[in-house]
A and B are shown apart, each in its own frame.
Chain A
């Protein structure tokens, strides 16, 4: 007998993940689906010696998905075998939560409602009549304070009871009678069509009116005539489109229920976190605090990262010594192994030490609720380049390393904004490229050039952002919930960090090790000459650089900081200042190197998160931008010097 499946569904900030965490056993947790939509955690739990699969679906406001992760939840509920839905509601936001509950009940799956953060509602002066609510919905209601582990036992008992014993069906929510009539008509029409479907006929009928795209095409086509007629009728009667009519009905139903079950005590005093919030969102103090916060954030990542890198380095050096004797034994083997080693040490020694504190601090940061406030503060400025406020984190991270920056775009729920951010991030000079810029300008020109190049790069980002946002469909504008400020949970953040690191290293390790092995072979077979030849058209003719630099660029694709070393090697000099380049050539070279291609790891991460199309577009765009910019500088300087 296969295990039954329990899924957790809830709106954002309902404490859904906390409920998942207290119910699940971390040792048995695994990542069920990971990818562009984020991570779905699943686990196996035992209740009364029965084992069940527990799945934490991405949070969604309703079953009318607005973005990719909400879509995943809705698809899962409609198409995968689910035996019980645990619907987590933030008690202090009962009315809004009930709208989702009503949809879930309409869906026809067994539902248990968890009123989480029960204490928070009480401190807000809201008390909920549980018995009455249970009567209204006809589903079990369990009040919890998952953060403190309260009510968890009752919840697992309720799940067990609901799964293993008979239970009465949940209430049916009747719409205003003429809409109800339409729903009945559709239900009758659907009777022969819904064999073997997960969802109920009623749900299908309601969605056919409200949001037909959710229902499979063949069913939609067969009822098209009827649903079109209904929509026309509704439009005439209500002067609202079908979606609004139905969702308002549901809204009013939820309002009616919550009016019956809620009791308010008198308005309590403003709590401390609300007072703090006034300052955090203040137009002046807010930005001031934001700046301090980010400086601290990166400072911490830098300090911890440095510490970790220092810890790992001796170990990696020992490993290198271990490898050394192989060279005398077999050169080819050594180049291969050394390549693999370089890739491995790149992950362990360079990326992970910074990635670890970054992921951890970001997990903490996400949980406090400050992210939403950051987005609010930055929205005005970012709007100007066609992005919304949430992208700010990714951009600042990009100055450190593009890889975690691309990862951090997961915080942006809108696909369009995420994609734009991911395409722009590789243009932000990461620490490796900053090193190249500084080293080369210091060796050849005054530091002013470094500043000019920085300013130019920012301009490029702004222009690209503007153009991209014009090309892609119009954004719906920022609508963002600003959740209550919270003290983050260390345990949960550690868990999140662990899962994310695991997810990242799994793929990155393979790619970087393989890539570095290829790099080793290039060195062994001395293919640099052919590479130079292949790149001659771009390097020599377009950019006016010595063609030996061609192979340098290929190395730079793997690791940008390698460019400095490889340039010296390629040109046969032992210090940067001896490179036989003119000022004009150096600046052109720097500009090209800064912009020309996301590095290999970034390339892989973008591909993994966004797919082949986006990564190809990003690569080609950056190449074109780099060539154009380099040309601009090449001829620009020439003109200025004359």
Chain B
């Protein structure tokens, strides 16, 4: 993924993740680090109870790097992926989870209410692509989310880390997820950085709860530019000008000019007292 091009544009996932690409996920330490970090963050966002082991679903598990993180946290997992080569690597690495060769867009083939949670690292964006003539991203996403919803237990969470290509894609994904019955939303970690910026889609079944806070946003209260209030306070401090004073007259003329009324030009005599000769 180090090349500038997005892998989704190069080939469909079952072809892109061939033996050489799969090999990178065991030999390239940088790739491993990134995957592990993202999974750790995803597990954190899952908010699972600490003391009890849960049964998790890993969507797009690949070579099982994310699964290893789940194992470390004491959970049992089942992984799904479309690439045979990646799964072969997973078998070689002797991961503990069960593996399944399956296309996410064709649905999640499990019994209802089996899993306590689902994680997915860099897989969701593949579903937005149309690799075959029969593929319809909207239908595939909707199918995927509906079946995922049924296979999760109540009050479970699903966390997806993904690389959306455009705001349109984010909208597509979130709309389909909401239609399937999920609550939740998007969390963007480090929104001000180009490289560290990560999108996490946190979906919840059961009731709606507040989303956890994104990382890297602690220092700023808002995503907008802070509004400087200085001009306002200056005006308030000055207050309204004293009635019948020159300032008051000028302000009044200004106001009436704005209203489109006929107003004399200001001059040095504006608001000046007449001399007492009259």
A binds B: no
On A, residues with C-beta under 8 Å from B are: none
On B, residues with C-beta under 8 Å from A are: none
